[in-house]
Amino acid sequence: MAERQQNSDSPRFSSDEQLKQGIEAMFFAYRGFTADPDRILAKIAYGRAHHRAIHFIARSPGTTVNNLMSILGVTKQSLNRVLRTLIQDGLVLSRQGSVDRRERRLTLTDKGSDLERQLSDAQRTRMRAAYDKAGPEAVDGFRKVLEAMMDPEMRHKYHAVRENGT
Amino acid sequence: MAERQQNSDSPRFSSDEQLKQGIEAMFFAYRGFTADPDRILAKIAYGRAHHRAIHFIARSPGTTVNNLMSILGVTKQSLNRVLRTLIQDGLVLSRQGSVDRRERRLTLTDKGSDLERQLSDAQRTRMRAAYDKAGPEAVDGFRKVLEAMMDPEMRHKYHAVRENGT
DNA sequence: CTTGGAATGTCAACAAGGCTGACGTATATT
DNA sequence: AATATACGTCAGCCTTGTTGACATTCCAAG
């Protein structure tokens, strides 16, 4: 067994125990990950589904319903219910596409952007604290492992969003 | 708008873009994380809630309902609904506590252990692949960042479970 | 121009799994 | 004896996912 000494504890290879710890870390961390936005959303009677929609519309303004469906991995009915309330409440704007007029191009209104910023700030504050605490090398590893955990299809969407977003 | 120069390949500090990528990575990775167990659970008409209960009962055999509630972060009513079906289906055993007889001590039956192993195997297979692909240093960073993301209370439970589990 | 298919919206019904509130019972603690 | 704790359970509500069915709009091929 090739021993690569490098950590404080003893994770030299991926024993089942190491893997279980990783699994539990994902579980507990994801709770923290959503906790702050969830608190904000609860106040205004929205849920996590609204947050996800808002996030990816902000990320790729002008995205279509179909695209959003495939990114979020939900049915159009499920997504539509969320979008409807967001449109009614004046957070999201749905305009007919100019080239293909069957499509709806989704963007955030100013009000929607405000909420997005609020949610994003809350979530990023925690992420930033975690990043700072763990250090830049850890962050690099964090992202590497997460990316390796994704389904290939999701990995593709992950990169696609980044291209669009920057 | 003061735009900070940020390239996608040089995470020297936590720009908002870096943080957003981390947020999206968590989102997409968590989907992968749950995908394999979900497929197994769907076949037998169980959900993620059942998986979580089974996982932590396996991890800390003889745990109480109260303890499980606090680890999973759900109400007793919600947990009870899940536990009831698991007990009825003969996957979980609930025995009266010997020292405090108000408590119920929860353990897995053989049948329950079988399912646990099946779910765990599926999840660990993906984790192992991700760990191997990312490398040991990345894994270390991965765990560091996740731990830093947890609520302090959850971090405590994360460690408590590990003591018990090993 | 007609028609097929794609993209979208919408209605209805259902399920899982959260939640709160209320109540009952057994057991411990004071 | 009184109070507190651990647990189970009933009832009702919400969010968010699912299927299935059907209407509309519009592009593109014939």
pLDDT of residue B161: 87
DSSP state string for B105-121: EEEE-HHHHHHHHHHHH
For residue B133, give the nearest of A132, A142, A148 by CB distance: A148
Instruction: Report, as ranges of residue numbers, the positions in chain A whose pLDDT lies below 50.
Output: 1-12, 165-166
Amino acid at A77: Q
Indicate the pTM of the whole model: 0.90
pLDDT in tens, B114-144: 999 999 999 999 999 999 999 999 999 999 9
3-class DSSP state of A93: strand
Between chain A and chain B, the number of residue pairs with CB atoms below 8 A apart is 215
Of the candidates B24, B76, B75, B141, the one whose C-alpha atom is nearest the C-alpha of residue A25 is B141
pLDDT in tens, A43-84: 999 999 999 999 999 999 999 999 999 999 999 999 999 999
Chain B residues touching residue A146 (CB < 8 angstroms): 25-26, 28-29, 142
> CA B104, C1' D7: Å apart?
8
pLDDT of residue A152: 95
Question: How far is Cα B68 from Cα A23, in angstroms, rounded to an integer?
Answer: 17
pLDDT of residue B13: 54
> CA A43, C1' D15: Å apart?
14
pLDDT in tens, B143-165: 999 999 999 999 999 999 887 65
User: Residues of A40-65 as b/e, b for ≥16 C-beta within 10 angstroms?
Assistant: bbeeeebeebbbbbbbbbbbbeebbb
Mean pLDDT, residues B93-118 taken together: 98
- Tokens standing for A79? 């997504």
pLDDT of residue B3: 41
